[in-house]
Structure 1
Amino acid sequence: MATSLSERSHRTVTRHEFTLIVASSFGALLEWYDFYIYAALAGTFSMLFFPGGNDTVAFLASLATFGAGFLVRPLGALFFGRLGDRIGRKYTFMATIVLMGVATVGVGLLPSFERIGIWAPILLVSLRLLQGFALGGETGGAATYLAEHSPAERRGFYTSSLQTTATLGLLASIAAVSISRALMDDVAFKSWGWRMPFLVSVVLLAISVWLRTRLAESPTFRDMKQAGRLSASPIGESFGKWDNLKYVLIMLFSTASGVGVIFGTGHFYSMYFLQNTLKVAPNTVNLFLAIALIAVFPFYLLFGWLSDRIGRKWIMMLACLLLAATTQPIFHALTHYANPQLEAFQRRAPVTVRADDCRFTLFSAPVTECDRIRGFLSASGVSYDQAPQQAGEGATTTIGSTIVRGSDRHALEEALLASGWSAHADPARIDAPMVVFLMWLLLLYLAMVYGPMAAFMVELFPARIRYTSLSLPFHLGSGWFGGMLPFVVSAMAVARGDVYFGLWYPVVIAVVSFAVGACFVPETYRRDISR
């Protein structure tokens, strides 16, 4: 007599099935690596692919391009989600990895803005969109595939291993970029060395494709297909019926948006804040983040394991609450421990900009004096107050007791230096253990929500439309709320003149995620996922 799917879910995963799970996870790791190389090179890309004249504007444009890859992920989720629910998880996996690989190699071959002008950012954005489209089909498929191979009583633990791939992918991208930088001087790296991490992925892609050709189809999908229970319209069933749509909306505004802002804050913005605001050397920041990533790695598995015993909901909700309560204190503490000289300068020499005609420009050089002054101060990591320009006078900047007229960068820099500002964080005064601990704390929140989340998403939706139903809200929440976070937070800080102001964005989203989740998210860890 054939073994029922329910009975199979309680037995130990066989060695063959475990091999398939490892192969699936490796492919996911490669996709995250490909996607995150850009994050590790955002500063370099701002100089290579966007107009010069304002470092702040170029960096914001680079962050916006990074976020563009996240914005298109929901489209990939719909496209590949439908394929996964109609033709199977295995073949959809293959399509996403090949598409990601082609786009990644393409980025490594792009000419710079200096060579082809505006076509450089256009082509870069296009390839980032292609990467995001491919990644939109990866997470839902990997979570579905892995959960449907897992014993019910260990589903959280097994799928948490998949959730580590994003962390490992970011770690691998940081390592690839750091090694490339170490093997050559800065001139060579900016000229051609930055291409190496992208081009190396060709070899990894070949290995991943070979592994994925060995994947067996999910037993849940295979049984549904044999029984004739596949959905004729996964998109219509997922989002056209309230019984399912309500869970899509609950997931979007609770766990998906929560994991998005936790992800963006811990994985990306902490790195950008240290490097671009606090002026810590890029290789030092990469080292700090790498140590924090390695230290947090076991906690993904721990929280996945714990969610199999006490449930998934409140572990994830607690992470959102902790982020909301501690984001501002953590980033103030990062300033204290990473660049105490900047902290002391801001306290001793307040800065006020008196200028009119202030604009927020993204893909063009600054035009007005106000734009140039604000761009310089923001690029210098300096918070400032803004006031109207006095009648009959031009733009002025007050730095402590010094008044600088006009927008000359050299004069502004001299005034900052005279008041105690430094262009770089002093390595001797960086409290490395505390900086790593604070970065690790932000990543711990991510482990709390991300470890149990794959199992939770799979358990929330019926098998016949699972791939489609969970993929869209996950990528809307994590991609739109989280992927654009570095840009939104940085843009808010520039617009307000306060390096901490933009951090209210993840705080507010985390509060909403906690409130919606606490009220409406069901506990799922004992559900049968075969139906």
Structure 2
Amino acid sequence: MISGDATGAPPRAPGKGRYNSFRIIGGASLGALFEWYDFYVYGALASVLGHVFFPPIDESFAFFASLAAFGAGFAVRPFGALVFGWLGDFIGRKYAFLLTILVMGSSTALVGLLPTYEQIGLAAPILLIILRLAQGLALGGEYGGAAIFVAEHAPANRRGLHTSWIQTTATLGFGLSLIVVLICRASLSPAEFLEWGWRLPFIASILLLGLSVYIRVRLHESPLFTELKARGQTSKQPITDSLLRWRNLRWMLLALFGATAGQAVIWYAGQFYVLFFLQSTLKVPHDTATLLVAAGLLLGTPFVVLFGYLSDLIGRKPIMIAGCLIAAVSLIPVFKGLTLATNPALVRASQAAPISVSGSDCSAMLWRSEATICDLVRAQLSRGGIPYEWETSPGQPLSVKIAGQGIPVDETLLGLTMALRTAGYPERADPAQINFPLAIGLLTVLMTFVAMVYGPIAAFLVELFPTRVRFTSLSLPYHLGNGWFGGMLPVIAFGMVLETGNIYAGLWYPIIVAAASAIIGFFFLNETYNRNLMRVTHPVGNALSPASSSDT
């Protein structure tokens, strides 16, 4: 006989539900928040780390290399999902996400102790990438463990609300990393921060690691997993049962392409890529951009809990699909609004004096081994965040025009620099001209898109898979979506901008992925919010059948 209510809620001691909920949600969420901080503090310092750890070839190259190293941590997250998913389904939820915090915390602290490129040469970026891979592996087990742990304790009609607190930890961890970096920058001179101050946010993770381990050691195992283990129904081979059983693999693929891929690109566009966009493209001062994004995160995070709560009332699917579609049609207008709000001089100059570059001597700027004059021109425009139209003209010499007038250029690029200033293109954003209310409002709008897709998704994924393979089956599509589709967004988008000259070109990547997820999710994913969590197998039916709340 299955314990709990008809929809799979675990039994509760009289009078202790509120205390238990606070302890379980708080314990899992706080540890997850610290782990996200560890992972994202790298991203908050990407521009500095590019300068410190990579060869000083070119500013654009160093930043791109830093983003690529950041992306390496995302690339291995699915492998971490398999390793820790197996551990969570075979041994237990608690031990899996206790181990993840140990790996994450120690790897982050070691980044703060690494020698720089100037000190040990190419060994520096190699060691940095190794530690990023370790962080990615750990994060591959963190999310599934925390989300499942909370959901398997939660009342059936409050799973969306309770797991939405886990969802806030990624945003709050990112926000915490921004705040810590900002405090360190404000406390030190620019030279001190560049020399050694950047290490402090990484080393601080040692304190967070100790607190997280203390909290998680005191938590008890999930009641559903404990009961399943007592009944002898746990999976002896979770990876095989997840990946080599078509009935389960089908739902993993649908979860990836119909939910997590779209959720991921919206999350990273609305929180992470927008920070790079403000700092590197619009040339908003680093601290100002950080404060703007932090304000947007602070105002928008409560919506994650709100949409988690609403998903308990009307379902997970309609909210997530609506979020994908709304974001897909709104990203470019919102980013254009951010440009107007934070760097209006750039908007005025690009409208009054548009730039065009054409020629046959540079058609793959990122991948050429030797730079031509055309490459140098496009690199300077990209570094300055200056939009331009690029056209390949076979057999034609390089042509650079500003407001239709040809500009003579040579390897010094002095003529181009003078022409840009004459045309009114700013070297950087003027803080006095930033419309702070508009910018924060638009960043909050982006966070609302994030909240719609991110608030319900933990409960949705937990409910989609049976208990015996839930950790593995949930973690893999989540981290394929977020680690590959989402985590690679900054690199892909930045590369698209470099190649096209259009500062908004990178947004087409999240737009296309989000729209595709909405279509796939609408036609092929079932609603899950009325399902029984204490299931050994999937509900009877095919991918197009309505969700079942009965055991099979």
The residue number in structure 2 matching 1:88 is: 92
**In structure 1, what is the Cα distance between the partners aligned to 2:10 and 2:2?**
14
Cα distance, 1:367 vs structure 2: 2.6
Q: 1:13 touches 1:151 (CA, 8 Å); kept in 2? A: no
Cα distance, 1:495 vs structure 2: 0.7
Of residues 184, 204, 208 in structure 2, which corresponds to 1:204? Answer: 208
> SS state of the match for residue 455, structure 2?
helix
> SS state of the match for residue 407, structure 2?
strand
The 5 Å alignment of 1:395-406 reads 395-400=398-403, 401=405, 403-406=407-410
Which amino acid letter does the alignment assign opposite residue 204 of structure 1? Answer: L
**In structure 2, what is the Cα distance between the partners aligned to 1:289 and 1:113?**
30
**In structure 1, what is the Cα distance between the partners aligned to 2:348 and 2:2?**
72
The residue number in structure 2 matching 1:377 is: 381
**In structure 2, what is the Cα distance between the partners aligned to 1:146 and 1:390?**
60
Cα distance, 1:179 vs structure 2: 0.1
Q: 1:391 to 1:296 in 2, by over 3 A?
A: closer
**In structure 1, what is the Cα distance between the partners aligned to 2:157 and 2:521?**
23
Cα distance, 1:428 vs structure 2: 1.8
The residue number in structure 2 matching 1:125 is: 129
Q: 1:89 touches 1:145 (CA, 8 Å); kept in 2? A: yes
> SS state of the match for residue 190, structure 1?
helix
Q: 1:50 touches 1:363 (CA, 8 Å); kept in 2? A: no
The 5 Å alignment of 1:381-396 reads 381-387=385-391, 395-396=398-399
- TM-score (norm. length: structure 2): 0.92
- Is 2:338 the counterpart of 1:337? no
Instruction: Report the more deviating stretch, 305-314 or 327-336.
Output: 327-336
The 5 Å alignment of 1:98-497 reads 98-358=102-362, 360=364, 367-387=371-391, 395-400=398-403, 401=405, 403-497=407-501
Q: 1:46 touches 1:58 (CA, 8 Å); kept in 2? A: yes
Q: 1:58 touches 1:363 (CA, 8 Å); kept in 2? A: no
Which amino acid letter does the alignment assign opposite residue 320 of structure 1? Answer: C
Q: 1:151 to 1:346 in 2, by over 3 A?
A: same
> SS state of the match for residue 404, structure 1?
coil
> SS state of the match for residue 398, structure 1?
strand
The residue number in structure 2 matching 1:521 is: 525
**In structure 1, what is the Cα distance between the partners aligned to 2:480 and 2:37?**
21
**In structure 1, what is the Cα distance between the partners aligned to 2:223 and 2:377?**
61
**In structure 1, what is the Cα distance between the partners aligned to 2:433 and 2:178?**
24
- CA deviation digits over 1:198-250, x for unaligned, max 9? 00110110111111110100001100111100101111111111211111011
The residue number in structure 2 matching 1:78 is: 82
- CA deviation digits over 1:155-198, x for unaligned, max 9? 11011011110011011000000000000110000000000000
> SS state of the match for residue 371, structure 2?
coil
**In structure 1, what is the Cα distance between the partners aligned to 2:216 and 2:120?**
38
- CA deviation digits over 1:36-66, x for unaligned, max 9? 0011111111211222242222211111111
Cα distance, 1:366 vs structure 2: 5.7
**In structure 2, what is the Cα distance between the partners aligned to 1:5 and 1:244?**
25
Cα distance, 1:370 vs structure 2: 2.2
Instruction: Report the more deviating stretch, 105-114 or 76-85.
Output: 105-114
**In structure 2, what is the Cα distance between the partners aligned to 1:424 and 1:366?**
28
> SS state of the match for residue 456, structure 2?
helix
> SS state of the match for residue 420, structure 1?
coil
Q: 1:396 touches 1:406 (CA, 8 Å); kept in 2? A: no
**In structure 2, what is the Cα distance between the partners aligned to 1:138 and 1:405?**
52
The residue number in structure 2 matching 1:499 is: 503
**In structure 1, what is the Cα distance between the partners aligned to 2:438 and 2:360?**
41
Gap regions ≥5 residues in structure 2: 536-552
**In structure 1, what is the Cα distance between the partners aligned to 2:233 and 2:18?**
26
The 5 Å alignment of 1:6-45 reads 6=6, 8-9=9-10, 13-45=17-49
**In structure 2, what is the Cα distance between the partners aligned to 1:204 and 1:365?**
43
**In structure 1, what is the Cα distance between the partners aligned to 2:443 and 2:368?**
33
Q: 1:256 touches 1:477 (CA, 8 Å); kept in 2? A: yes
Identical aligned pairs, as a percentage? 48
**In structure 2, what is the Cα distance between the partners aligned to 1:51 and 1:265?**
28
Q: 2:301 touches 2:447 (CA, 8 Å); kept in 1? A: no
Which amino acid letter does the alignment assign opposite residue 146 of structure 1? Answer: V
Cα distance, 1:297 vs structure 2: 1.8
Gap regions ≥5 residues in structure 1: none
**In structure 1, what is the Cα distance between the partners aligned to 2:160 and 2:396?**
67
Which amino acid letter does the alignment assign opposite residue 456 of structure 1? Answer: F
Q: 1:104 touches 1:198 (CA, 8 Å); kept in 2? A: yes
Which amino acid letter does the alignment assign opposite residue 121 of structure 1? Answer: P
Cα distance, 1:293 vs structure 2: 0.7
Q: 1:366 to 1:133 in 2, by over 3 A?
A: farther
Q: 1:10 touches 1:152 (CA, 8 Å); kept in 2? A: no
**In structure 1, what is the Cα distance between the partners aligned to 2:218 and 2:413?**
59
Cα distance, 1:269 vs structure 2: 1.0
- CA deviation digits over 1:380-416, x for unaligned, max 9? 11122234579695x4533333513223244332221
Q: 1:324 to 1:4 in 2, by over 3 A?
A: closer
> SS state of the match for residue 129, structure 1?
helix
Q: 2:46 touches 2:67 (CA, 8 Å); kept in 1? A: yes
Instruction: Report the more deviating stretch, 318-327 or 378-387.
Output: 378-387
> SS state of the match for residue 66, structure 1?
helix
Which amino acid letter does the alignment assign opposite residue 397 of structure 1? Answer: V
- TM-score (norm. length: structure 1): 0.96
Which amino acid letter does the alignment assign opposite residue 63 of structure 1? Answer: L
- CA deviation digits over 1:103-139, x for unaligned, max 9? 1011111122222222222111111111011000011
Which amino acid letter does the alignment assign opposite residue 390 of structure 2? Answer: Q
Cα RMSD for the two superposed structures: 2.0
